[in-house]
Amino acid sequence: MIDHVSIAVRNIKASGDYYETVLTPLGLLRLVDRETAIGFGKKYPEFWLNLRADMRIVEENPGNHICLRAPTNEAVMAFHDAAISHGGRCDGAPGLRQATMTKYFGAFIRDLDGNKIEVVYFPRKDGS
């Protein structure tokens, strides 16, 4: 249903470097690098950063977030650790959570601009 998502950032270079580091555990690579936009993905840009130099930091509870899939629990933890160690902040430590229809392992962070990003791994029915 959704082909790609974009978030606004105040500093394209700093955010590009930040996301290049934190998206690596998810297998997302920096594929497009423009003056005012950077695209990350596996085969094509699925996650975009768009420069909005005059924007304010995202308010604490805007009512939205972006959720990205991780290949393993360890990738969720690596994403979270990288995000925090590179200037983001924790908005929900890695752990098991109950979703509407299933359990999942996930974590929430706020990036350099306050954007809320969730990363999830859905264990298979056999527990792996």
- pLDDT for 54-111, tens place per residue? 988 888 777 789 999 999 999 999 999 999 999 999 999 999 998 888 899 999 999 9
Q: Crossing angle of helices 12-23/73-85, nearest 10°?
A: 150
Instruction: Give me the residue spans of the domains in the chain.
Output: 5-53+65-121
Q: Please report, as a single letter, which amino acid is at residue 15.
A: S
Bridge partners (DSSP) of residue 5 are: 47
Q: What is the CATH number of domain 5-53+65-121?
A: 3.10.180.10
- pTM confidence score: 0.91
